[in-house]
């Protein structure tokens, strides 16, 4: 069902362009996100802006008056079944695609001064602890905001825009060129008004007629627990305000995760390394280590621990971004063999060696099931086992 664009702006179907513009500016002053932060007001502001752009475009307004909806039909696919990415308007669009303008003298009409603003991107460096717990931080952004003097109209006081004398309100100028197809008419945006179809003879002294000014402001950004490097937090309507006081884009805050001194992150899991003396690896032991979210957890070193063995502690990793369920902490046990022994230590180890006659230095056969060292694992990997 076609939308009532006249009803959205609160004007009659026979309203003039000036009446439509006045109605839009009145509503924009009430509903603009910089003036009214309410979410319902922001949604209505988008509808009002869309209605203004439709009713100030002669071709789109003709479709509305005929009972259609130009915003719904624009993506339906018209010429040759190209769909959203193809031609929808007929032969004139074909000429425009090849020659940069409308064919046969048909124009697109003025684009209007009010345009949607662009998105902005800000990068924030966070410690792994902050990524795990979540954090609220204040950031300073420098973006275009609505001009508080003209509230987006771009005019000074009660002055009004006037029809561009160069394009006479068309928003584009046309030229005729000769080619192998004969005479081809091309169109380009009007150099005087930039395609808006109107100029401002008495612009606002603060914004110079743009309807927006640059400003530095401070925002509070809430980073949820579990974010990872490269993820972005979206702040709706906090980007650049568009030309003519158009709706603002969004602000994206991209997380850059700093390297941690102890933990290495792998998704929701964490890895760390604990150095275990040879004696503790043989006899077993315990160690308490600090966790990423505070507190500590106990790592049990089983008797007979081998170099490279991993102790897994569930629920001590990073929280999942959406569920909050924490991953696993992988503790890599690095068995340390002493390189310097005093005479007493050497004596005791020799006595120990005499008690373990069954443990001798020997060459292990390639097919032995007891080959679990690094060389054996590499050999099996190359052999495809």
Digit-coded pLDDT (tens) for 182-233: 667 778 888 888 888 889 999 999 999 999 999 999 999 999 999 999 999 9
Residue 181, pLDDT score: 56
pTM, whole model, 2 decimals? 0.61
Q: How confident is the model at residue 77 (pLDDT cuts 50, 70, 90)?
A: very low
Q: How confident is the model at residue 58 (pLDDT cuts 50, 70, 90)?
A: confident
Judgement on whether residues 309 and 245 belong to the same structural domain of the protein? no
The answer to whether residue 59 is domain-embedded is yes
Mean pLDDT, range 66-83, rounded to an integer: 51
Residue 325, pLDDT score: 95
Which of 46, 69, 92 corresponds to the end of one domain? 69
Which of 243, 258, 273 corresponds to the end of one domain? 258
Residue 349, pLDDT score: 87
Mean pLDDT, range 297-322, rounded to an integer: 94
Judgement on whether residues 8 and 61 belong to the same structural domain of the protein? yes
Query: Residue 99 gets which letter from DSSP?
Result: H
Tokens 């950031």 label which residue?
A: 139
Query: Residue 239 gets which letter from DSSP?
Result: S
Query: Residue 225 gets which letter from DSSP?
Result: T
Residue 370, pLDDT score: 55
Judgement on whether residues 375 and 315 belong to the same structural domain of the protein? yes
Judgement on whether residues 373 and 324 belong to the same structural domain of the protein? yes
pLDDT above 90 as % of the chain: 46
Separation of CA 301 from chain center: 44
Enumerate residues 6+ apart whose C-beta is below 8 A from 12.
6
Looking at per-residue pLDDT, the higher value among 40 and 2 belongs to: 40
- Written as six digits, the tokens of 54 are 């439709």
Element (H, E) at 187: strand 182-189
The answer to whether residue 328 is domain-embedded is yes
Judgement on whether residues 38 and 14 belong to the same structural domain of the protein? yes
Judgement on whether residues 272 and 368 belong to the same structural domain of the protein? yes
Judgement on whether residues 243 and 268 belong to the same structural domain of the protein? no
Judgement on whether residues 254 and 327 belong to the same structural domain of the protein? no
* Binding-site sequence positions for Zn(2+): 147, 150, 164, 167, 190, 193, 204, 207
Residue 73, pLDDT score: 46
Judgement on whether residues 39 and 4 belong to the same structural domain of the protein? yes
**Cβ(100)–Cβ(232) under 8 Å?**
no
Q: 1 is in which domain, residue-wise?
A: 1-69
Residue 172, pLDDT score: 87
Judgement on whether residues 241 and 265 belong to the same structural domain of the protein? no
User: Residue 371 burial (CB < 10 Å; 0-12/13-18/19+)?
Assistant: middle
- CATH classification at residue 227: 2.60.260.20
* Binding-site sequence positions: 147, 150, 164, 167, 190, 193, 204, 207
Q: How confident is the model at residue 94 (pLDDT cuts 50, 70, 90)?
A: very low
Judgement on whether residues 38 and 54 belong to the same structural domain of the protein? yes
pLDDT above 70 (res 271): yes
Q: How many domains does the chain have?
A: 3
* SS3 assignment, position 51: helix
Please report which residue ranges of 246-316 form alpha helices under DSSP H: 278-283
pLDDT above 70 (res 39): yes
């Amino acid at each position: 069902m076609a939308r009532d664009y006249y009803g959205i702006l609160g004007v009659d179907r026979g309203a003039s362009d000036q009446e439509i513009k006045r109605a839009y500016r009145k509503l924009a002053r009430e509903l603009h996100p910089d003036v009214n932060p309410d979410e319902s007001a922001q949604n209505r502001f988008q509808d009002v802006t869309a209605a203004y752009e439709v009713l100030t475009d002669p071709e789109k307004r003709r479709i509305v008056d005929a009972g259609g909806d130009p915003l719904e039909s624009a993506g339906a696919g018209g010429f040759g079944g190209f769909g959203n990415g193809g031609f929808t308007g007929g032969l004139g669009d074909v000429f425009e695609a090849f020659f940069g303008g409308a064919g046969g003298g048909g124009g697109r009409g003025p684009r209007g001064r009010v345009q949607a603003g662009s998105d902005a991107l800000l990068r924030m460096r966070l410690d792994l602890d902050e990524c795990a717990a979540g954090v609220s931080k204040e950031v300073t952004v420098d973006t275009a905001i609505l001009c508080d003097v003209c509230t987006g109209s771009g005019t000074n006081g009660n002055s009004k825009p006037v029809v561009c004398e160069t394009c006479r309100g068309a928003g584009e100028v046309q030229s005729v060129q000769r080619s192998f197809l004969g005479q081809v008419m091309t169109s380009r945006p009007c150099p005087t008004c930039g395609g808006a179809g109107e100029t401002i003879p008495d612009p606002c002294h603060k914004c110079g007629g743009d309807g927006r000014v640059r400003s530095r402001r401070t925002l509070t950004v809430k980073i949820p627990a579990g974010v990872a490097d490269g993820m972005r937090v979206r702040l709706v309507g906090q980007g650049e305000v568009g030309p003519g006081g158009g709706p603002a884009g969004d602000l994206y805050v991209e997380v850059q995760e700093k390297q941690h001194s102890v933990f290495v992150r792998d998704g929701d899991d964490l890895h760390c390394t604990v150095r275990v003396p040879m004696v503790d690896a043989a006899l077993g032991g315990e160690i308490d280590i600090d966790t990423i979210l505070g507190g500590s957890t106990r790592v049990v070193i089983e008797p007979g621990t081998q170099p490279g063995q991993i102790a897994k502690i569930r629920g001590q990793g990073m929280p999942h971004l959406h569920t909050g369920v924490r991953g696993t902490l992988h503790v890599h046990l690095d068995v340390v063999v002493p390189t310097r022994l005093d005479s007493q230590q050497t004596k005791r180890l020799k006595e120990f060696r005499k008690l373990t006659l069954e443990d001798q230095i020997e060459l292990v056969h390639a097919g032995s099931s007891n080959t679990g060292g690094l060389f054996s694992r590499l050999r099996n990997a190359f052999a495809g086992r």
